[in-house]
């Protein structure tokens, strides 16, 4: 068994840490515990793929599909040398069937004992640390959901009438504000443009107006990345400018969002944070935007640092990609949110806060079986996209895993766009290779305004004028963006960045790592420079003969100028992965798919890429039929948050 795992590692099927964990565990167990060692290796491997646990039922029903093995890059040599997961399970004593595996795990000293490395719960096998994370989240959220708050429904209805006016149809934004008053845990989910920012400002105003104490509530705003935090700050600030009915509490509504790492207080060379159960945050409310990007370890740290009486409010799109690290917190908590599943008691309570009753199909007599949904509001209508055409319709069809309309578009994008207005802002470019002339033309046209703006450096040495110029350039970066599904290979992010750098800047891009006009993305948090993973800057010269510097925007609207030598962990950002684009929006988004089908191509990946576009979306790929395969494939991350 260990020899087989060694071969898997040598051929790149599993990671070094997966093999090492199995080897160390084998030294501590008897020879008849081979099945435990094998399953432990699988748990570690699944963790690297984003799964907090190994679902044994799935493993035994579909071993290859569950583990994603053999990998897409597997060579003929590796296929001949390595046993497939199904074969390995059959050949290891105690691992031949689901029943035998569960029995041998239950009898093993490595499972379910104090401080044992593995925990078996039902048919899910965990590393102990990740089991603790999950239990910590479940226990904390259960307590907050049970802590129903006293609410004067008459006062609440009056405040909501002030904020939303009298309405003739159901307002899910208003429902979300009412829901947030009811308990210490609330989820607001919906796609781009459905009104989450519009709602959160009114939600904060509702909380402050009905706070029941003379002092303002202490509210903290946070997001997983620096970019998402900056967008949250900007959006809330802009929304406050348009809202005149909350002048009495406007000063009590914060506009500055920080990263979760900064909120909790990172400690050098440690996974721990300054704020925890014994040193909780000084806050009454914490609101986390882009919650789909939060992994299980970070969410456990958040709830551990929250005071017992503080409100936790999660905002995000449940249909987006899950976090890069292990877990799919928002997706699991919001599963089936589109159907409501509200208990009759909750429906009656919500109806008392408005003049428009909730749709009857959102009430479920068995709603108690969906505890998280009793604290969840989902927005359905996008104010940004028309659901009947273009980007809106494409995103909706992909999200629902439908493909009738999609197939028509894939067959002849240009003809469909010319004949039907419903295809007006989406295009497909099927090209045989990523450096095709049409792709180069698309890139050069997209980045032409950026290059022109860089050439308009003010002649004056006035620092304010230079900063205004740099700010315009950084804003222009949001107008056009290449997104790739993968990092490596001809169709991947790294090679596209090299290609685009050469197309736009020629030999100077190849000869010099740093050149004027190079956009860069920070890839790791750098607290000494106050930069976060995902922050975007651009290389410029403030004066013609001055050394190159990198301009970064700040939350207060100013520009920070840093020498390139101080930035050790950055990538060129003409192209970025779809994963890295979460929390961003671009006027024209170009999504590039790889030449061959790979497991990462899922409906969630496509949906996330499509919804980064605000005005125009272009898909570039070698084989359009890959899109249909991706639409049929879903991310199914294992975990027990939503059940026992």
Whether residue 16 has pLDDT greater than 90:
yes
Distances 309 to 59, 286, 305, 400, 568 between C-alpha atoms, Å = 41, 11, 12, 38, 41
| 629 within 8 A of 601, measured Cβ to Cβ | yes
pLDDT digits (tens, 9 = 90+) for 540-583: 999 888 899 999 987 667 899 999 999 988 999 999 999 888 87
What is residue 492's DSSP assignment?
A: S
Tokens describing residue 619: 């898909």
Distances 272 to 210, 323, 464 between C-alpha atoms, Å = 35, 19, 41
- DSSP for 135-147, please give it: HHHHHHHHHHHH-
Residue 130, Cα to own-chain centre: how many angstroms?
19
| 358 within 8 A of 170, measured Cβ to Cβ | yes
Placement of tokens 């068995």 in the chain: 366
Q: For residue 38, name the pLDDT band (cuts at 50, 70, 90).
A: very high
Q: Which of 454, 439, 483 is nearest to 588 (CA)?
A: 483
Between CA 172 and CA 109 the distance in angstroms is: 51
pTM of the predicted protein model: 0.86
Residues tagged in the binding site annotation for ATP: 190-197
pLDDT digits (tens, 9 = 90+) for 301-328: 999 999 999 999 999 988 888 777 778 8
Region of 401 please: left (phi>0), alpha (psi -120 to 50) or beta: left
pLDDT value for 413: 58
Between CA 236 and CA 584 the distance in angstroms is: 15
Residue predicted with more confidence, 503 or 71: 503
Residues tagged in the binding site annotation: 190-197
Tokens describing residue 639: 């975990």
Between CA 137 and CA 151 the distance in angstroms is: 26
Q: Which of 547, 535, 643 is nearest to 584 (CA)?
A: 535
pLDDT digits (tens, 9 = 90+) for 397-418: 888 888 776 777 676 655 544 4
Between CA 132 and CA 549 the distance in angstroms is: 45
Tokens describing residue 596: 């061959």
Distances 84 to 3, 20, 79, 99, 614 between C-alpha atoms, Å = 13, 20, 8, 20, 44
SS3 per-residue string spanning 510-521 = HHCCCCCCCEEE
Whether residue 421 has pLDDT greater than 70:
no
Question: Nearest 5°: phi and psi at 370?
Answer: -120, 70
pLDDT value for 561: 94
């Amino acid at each position: 068994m260990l020899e087989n795992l060694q071969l898997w590692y040598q051929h790149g099927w599993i990671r070094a840490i997966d093999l090492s964990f199995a080897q160390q565990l084998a030294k501590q167990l008897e020879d008849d515990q081979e099945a435990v060692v094998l399953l432990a290796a699988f748990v570690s491997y699944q963790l690297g793929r984003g799964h907090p646990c190994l679902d044994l039922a799935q493993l035994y029903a579909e071993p290859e599909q569950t583990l994603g093995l053999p990998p897409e890059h597997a060579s003929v040599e590796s296929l001949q040398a390595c046993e497939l997961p199904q074969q390995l399970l059959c050949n290891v004593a105690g691992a031949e069937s689901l029943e035998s595996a569960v029995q041998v795990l239950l009898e093993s000293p490595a499972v379910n004992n104090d401080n044992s490395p593995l925990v078996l719960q039902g048919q899910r096998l965990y590393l102990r640390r990740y089991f603790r994370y999950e239990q910590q989240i479940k226990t904390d959220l259960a307590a907050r959901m049970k802590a129903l708050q006293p609410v004067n429904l008459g006062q609440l209805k009056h405040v909501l009438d002030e904020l939303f006016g009298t309405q003739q149809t159901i307002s899910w934004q208003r429902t979300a504000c009412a829901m947030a008053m009811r308990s210490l845990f609330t989820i607001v989910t919906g796609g781009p443009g459905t009104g989450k920012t519009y709602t959160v400002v009114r939600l904060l105003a509702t909380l402050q107006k009905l706070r029941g104490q003379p002092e303002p509530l202490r509210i903290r705003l946070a997001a997983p990345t620096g970019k998402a935090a900056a967008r949250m700050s900007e959006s809330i600030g802009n929304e406050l400018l348009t809202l005149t009915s909350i002048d009495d509490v406007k000063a009590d509504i914060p506009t500055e969002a920080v990263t979760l790492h900064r909120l909790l207080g990172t400690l050098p060379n440690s996974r721990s944070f300054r704020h925890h159960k014994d040193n909780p945050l000084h806050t009454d409310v914490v609101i986390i935007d882009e919650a789909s990007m939060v992994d299980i370890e970070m969410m456990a740290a958040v709830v551990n640092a929250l005071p017992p009486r503080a409100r936790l409010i999660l905002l995000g799109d449940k249909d987006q990609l899950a976090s890069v690290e292990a877990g799919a917190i928002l997706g699991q908590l919001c599963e089936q949110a589109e159907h409501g599943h509200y208990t009759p008691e909750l429906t009656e309570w919500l109806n008392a806060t408005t003049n428009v009753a909730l749709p009857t199909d959102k009430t479920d007599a068995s709603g108690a079986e969906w505890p998280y949904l009793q604290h969840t509001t989902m927005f359905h209508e996008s104010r940004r996209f028309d659901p009947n055409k273009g980007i809106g319709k494409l995103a909706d069809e992909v999200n629902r895993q439908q493909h009738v309309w999609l197939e028509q578009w894939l067959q002849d994008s240009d003809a469909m766009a010319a004949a039907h207005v419903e295809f007006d802002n989406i295009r497909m470019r099927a090209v045989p290779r990523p450096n095709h002339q049409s792709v180069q033309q698309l890139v050069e046209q997209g980045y032409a305004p950026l290059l022109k703006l860089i050439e308009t450096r003010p002649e004056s040495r006035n620092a304010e004028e230079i900063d205004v110029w740099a700010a315009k350039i950084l804003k222009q970066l949001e107008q056009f963006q290449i997104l790739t599904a993968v990092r490596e290979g001809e169709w991947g992010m790294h090679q596209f960045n090299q290609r685009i750098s050469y197309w736009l800047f020629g030999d100077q891009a190849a000869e010099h790592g740093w050149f004027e006009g190079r956009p860069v993305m920070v890839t790791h948090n750098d607290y000494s420079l106050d930069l976060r993973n995902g922050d975007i800057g651009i290389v410029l010269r403030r004066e013609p003969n001055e050394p190159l510097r990198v301009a970064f925007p700040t939350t207060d609207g100013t520009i920070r100028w840093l020498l390139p030598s101080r930035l050790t962990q950055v990538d060129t950002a003409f192209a970025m992965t779809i994963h890295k684009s979460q929390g961003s929006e671009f006027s024209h988004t170009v999504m590039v798919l790889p030449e061959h089908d790979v497991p990462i191509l899922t409906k969630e990946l496509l949906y996330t890429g499509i919804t980064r576009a605000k005005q125009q979306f272009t898909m570039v790929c070698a084989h359009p039929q890959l899109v249909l395969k991706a639409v049929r494939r879903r991310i199914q991350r294992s975990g027990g948050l939503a059940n026992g």
